Amino acid sequence: MGNELQTAFINYKQGNYATAWDLCQHILKTTPIQPDCLAMLGMMSNKAERYADAEKYLRKCLFFHPKKHIILTELATSLVYLEKYDEAEKMLNQSMDINSNYEK
């Protein structure tokens, strides 16, 4: 699985989202709770404007990485588009408490 995850991440970073998506989905079939795949799927869902899907993936990921500011910020982005403003603000505040220098 390590090789597949690394390949998925490389494809994600290169903007090859379809390949990264397929690899993450394949990994999740054998390892249903793989936080890095959940994070990538959440971020790709945000990019595709599939905010409800992004929220689902990022919430699962957040369970394993509750202090990861990038996940909190991505989840907040989803929540804004889903008009869950109070919760989005909470997530952004948590993210800024962890890393106030993050530009997004």
Question: Scanning the structure block, which residue is given the tokens 């998925």?
Answer: 8
Q: pLDDT tens digits, residue range 57-99?
A: 999 999 999 999 999 999 999 999 999 999 999 999 999 888 7
pTM of the prediction?
0.88
17 with 29: CB under 8 angstroms?
Answer: no
Q: pLDDT tens digits, residue range 32-61?
A: 889 999 999 999 999 999 999 999 999 999
CA dihedral 15, 90, 34, 46 (to 10 degrees): -30
- Could you tell me the end-to-end alpha-carbon distance of the chain, in angstroms, rounded to an integer? 31
CA pair distance 32, 46, nearest whole angstrom: 21
